Amino acid sequence: MQPSDLTALALHAPGVGAVLAATWLLLFLPTARVIVWADAASYLRALPGPWLAPWLVGGAALIAFQLPWLALWVLGEGVRGAGIAGALTVVIALVARWRPRTGRPRAPAWHASGAALRGIYVRALRRRASDALVRGAGLAILAGLTAGLFVRNNQLGGVDAAVIGASVIAIVLVPATVGPAIALVEAHRQSAWLAASLGISRATRVTALVWALVLVQLAASAIAIATSAIVLREAAPVAWIAIASLVCAVAAALGNARVLLVAAQAPSVAARLAAGAVVVAAMTVLWLGLLGVAGLAAIVASALFALLTVRV
């Protein structure tokens, strides 16, 4: 495919263009937010210097970090493509500039240690991983589209639809769940001293962490299943994909919890989480490919064994 093929398709098919623009917006928005707000360099505003310089540096950074997107449109449409990329850059900057209003802090009312830890993890996802959750939702939509197209174009049904659909969703959801997992591992590390001082058991901490990971995995899988249902428009294969994907989501959360517990104190925790998530997805595909739907039991058993035998 040449760049002009994709850009011409995006210009003549509004649906394709909207999906392409929304995908790039989701991918680039976290970077754009860092550039637009520049919180780490806010102290520089108090120093003497030209007021225009930060704006010029920010604008150059917005363009430089979009080189793949800019190259696509310039190679595909020339000057018109550069104008389209520039217009979308303005839209991305305006969206990145917006920040929701923060509510007044309130003292939470938690009546049990497990509920308190779950509340801490939910707040960590909402406050630290909002960009990762939005990006994960976009990737979950992509996972559902890909799985639905695999099943529909190969005319699969029943067990075959479950195996292929769940495998595709498990692979594409890896980058969708790593970002939220990084926020959870930070919350897990920072709450360790509080849990130790209050006498909260390790089992309670692990259970709360697994609960948060399962929540993220199930939410991403639900989005992917709903998207694949729109593509397939048939109840039977969607039901098979839904059952297999939800079971795989729970198993993936258990496997990722094992990786997170082992790598929680490592300086390269993000890389280890990404590598571990890839291994968990690969094991899912392996068991499904070898045993079919019966591999779901093997996937859950393997994940449980990995979690219960972890040594921190």
CB of 296 closer than 8 Å to CB of 247: yes
Query: How far apart, in Å, are the Cα atoms of 276 and each of 44, 269, 273?
Result: 40, 10, 5
Decide: 275 and 178 in contact? Cβ < 8 Å: no
More confident residue, 12 or 135: 12
Which amino acid is located at 100 in the chain? P
Q: Of the candidates 181, 187, 34, 175, which has an alpha carbon nearest to the alpha carbon of residue 123?
A: 187
| Residue 311 phi, psi (nearest 5) | -125, 120
Residue 203 has pLDDT above 80, yes or no: yes
pLDDT classification of 97: cutoffs 50, 70, 90? confident
Q: Which of 25, 176, 18 is nearest to 95 (CA)?
A: 25
pLDDT surpasses 90 at 26? no
Given a cut of 70, is residue 102 above it in pLDDT?
no
**CA dihedral sign, ordered 54, 59, 62, 67:** negative
Q: What integer best gives the mean pLDDT of the chain? A: 88
What pLDDT is recorded for position 165?
93
Residue 31: predicted pLDDT = 87
- Judge whether residue 134 has pLDDT over 70: yes
Q: Which pairs with CB-CB distance under 8 Å and at least 24 residues apart come from 5-9?
A: 5/76, 6/72, 6/76, 7/72, 7/73, 7/76, 7/77, 7/81, 8/76
User: What's the pLDDT tens digit per position in 228-262?
Assistant: 999 898 888 999 999 999 999 999 999 999 998 88
pLDDT greater than 70 at residue 312: no
Spans of all domains in the chain? 3-97, 113-308
List pLDDT tens digits, range 265-281.
777 888 888 999 999 99
Q: State the amino acid at position 210 in one-letter form.
A: V
pLDDT score recorded for residue 77:
92
pLDDT digits (tens, 9 = 90+) for 76-89: 999 999 999 999 99
pLDDT in tens, 141-165: 989 999 999 999 998 888 899 999 9
- pLDDT tens, position by position, 105-126: 677 777 788 888 888 898 889 8
Q: What is the pLDDT at residue 45? A: 72
- Residue 174 pLDDT exceeds 80: yes
Q: DSSP secondary-structure letter at 232?
A: H
Residue 14 is predicted with a pLDDT of 87
Average pLDDT over residues 42-65: 82
Q: What percent of the chain has pLDDT over 90?
A: 41
Confidence label for 131 from pLDDT (cuts 50, 70 and 90):
confident
Token pair 């428009």: residue: 233
Asked if residues 276 and 229 have their Cβ atoms less than 8 Å apart, the reply is: no
**Beta carbons of 161 and 237 less than 8 angstroms apart:** yes
In three-state form (DSSP H/G/I as H, E/B as E, the rest C), the secondary structure along 115-178 is HHHHHHHHHHHHHHCHHHHHHHHHHHHHHHHHHHHHHHHCCCCHHHHHHHHHHHHHHHCHHHHH
